[in-house]
């Protein structure tokens, strides 16, 4: 089970790195809105909120995996 946890953790980290790079380098978003520094900050905040949610789920999953391992 720990291998699954590590694999999903690495996949999520790669996803967040890729999403951060996309947000940082894009000039226009999918709706055609020109990206200002304020809109980029908002996009990073939304991505950060999603990251925190995934982090909490990962910690809960890790807790149950370690509990089951004992």
Q: Please identify which residue in the block is written with the tokens 């947000």.
A: 23
Q: Please identify which residue in the block is written with the tokens 């089951």.
A: 68
For residue 28, list its beta bridge partners: 34
Please give the structure tokens belonging to residue 69.
Answer: 């391992």
23 in helix, strand or coil?
A: helix
Q: Determine the pLDDT at residue 29.
A: 85
pLDDT tens, residue by residue, 30-52: 888 899 999 999 999 999 999 99
Long-range contacts at 4-10 (CB < 8 A, ≥ 24 apart): 5/58, 5/61, 5/62, 5/65, 8/58, 9/58
Q: Determine the pLDDT at residue 30.
A: 84
């Amino acid at each position: 089970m720990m291998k699954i946890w590590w694999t999903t953790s690495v996949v999520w980290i790669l996803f967040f790195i890729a999403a951060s790079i996309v947000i940082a380098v894009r000039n226009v978003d999918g709706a055609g809105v020109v990206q200002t520094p304020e809109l980029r900050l908002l996009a990073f905040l939304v991505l950060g909120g999603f990251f925190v949610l995934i982090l909490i789920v990962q910690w809960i999953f890790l807790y149950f995996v370690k509990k089951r391992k004992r």
